[in-house]
Amino acid sequence: MKDTPGQDADLFRQLLDDVTPLKPNDRRPPSPPSPRKPRPQSRLTETEVADTLSDHGADDIAPTEYLGNGLNRMTLRKLRHGEWPVQDELDLHGLNSDEARKLLTAFLYQATRQGVRCVHVIHGKGWHSEHGEGLLKRLSRHWLAQHPQVLAFCDAPLNAGGSGAARVLLKTGGRENGNGSYPPA
C-alpha cells in the first residue's frame, strides 16, 4: 500500500516536531556596488605620450585574439595558458572612448618603459550597451592591435574577466625616441 500525500506531510511534521525554528535575521541585503572610478594609472600628461591610435577601421565585432606579424602561433597559446605572469592591470570601465584611448596609450607607454612583459586590460563586456557588444571592448582591442609595443593579445581567463578583459603581451626593452613615440619595430 502506498502512502498518500497527507500521510507524508504528517510524517514530516512528526520528524520536525522537536526542531526549533531559526530567528529571522535582521541583516539588510547588500546594496548594489557603486560604479568604480578608474584609479589613475600614470602620472604622464597627454603631451608626454603621443596618441597615435585611431578608431578608423574598427570592426563591428571585437577580435578575440591578435598575433603580430612574424610571430609563432605558439606565442598566443602560451599567452592564453599564462606562460607570462600578469604584471600590471588597467581598468577602463566608466570611461568614454577618448579617455580610454588616452589612458590605454599612457598605460602601455609606462608599462614598456618599466620593462613589463604582460598586462591585463579590463574593458568590460558591454552588456549594458545598446547593441550588447561594448564600444570600449571593440575599440580597446582595435587600439591594442595598432600599438607598436603589443605583440599579441587574447581573451583573459574566465576567472580574470573572460571576454571582458584582454591579456596583452608586450615587447621587451621598448625605448621611446624622445617625443613620446616608439621607433619602428
Question: DSSP states of 47-97 as a string?
Answer: GGS------TT--SS--SEEE-TT--HHHHHHHHTTSS---EEEE-TT--H
Cα dihedral 64→68→73→77 (10° resolution): -50
No. of H helices and E strands in the chain?
A: 4, 5
Largest Cα–Cα separation, the chain = 92
How confident is the model at residue 63, as a pLDDT?
73
Q: Mean pLDDT of successive 10-residue segments in the chain (185 residues)? A: 74 86 74 57 49 56 79 89 90 84 89 91 72 73 86 86 86 54 39
φ and ψ at residue 46, rounded to 5 degrees = -60, -35
Q: Are 120 and 167 in contact (CB under 8 A)?
A: yes
The angle formed by the CA atoms of residues 136, 103 and 139, to the nearest 5 degrees, is: 25
What integer pLDDT is reported at residue 33 of this predicted model? Answer: 63
CA angle 171, 173, 179 (to 5 degrees): 95
CATH class of the 64-172 domain in this structure: alpha beta
Query: Does the reported pTM lie above 0.75?
Result: no
Q: Which residues contact 73 (CB under 8 A, 6 or more apart)?
A: 67
Q: What ranges do the domains of the chain cover?
A: 64-172
Position 49 scores a pLDDT of: 56
| Mean of per-residue pLDDT scores for the chain | 75
Grid coordinates representing 142 are 582595435
Q: What are the CA-CA distances from residue 150 to residues 7, 25, 34, 86 (Å)? A: 70, 52, 32, 14
Sign of CA dihedral 63, 65, 67, 73: negative
pLDDT, residue 119, reads 93
Which helix (H) or strand (E) segment is 136 a member of? helix 135-146
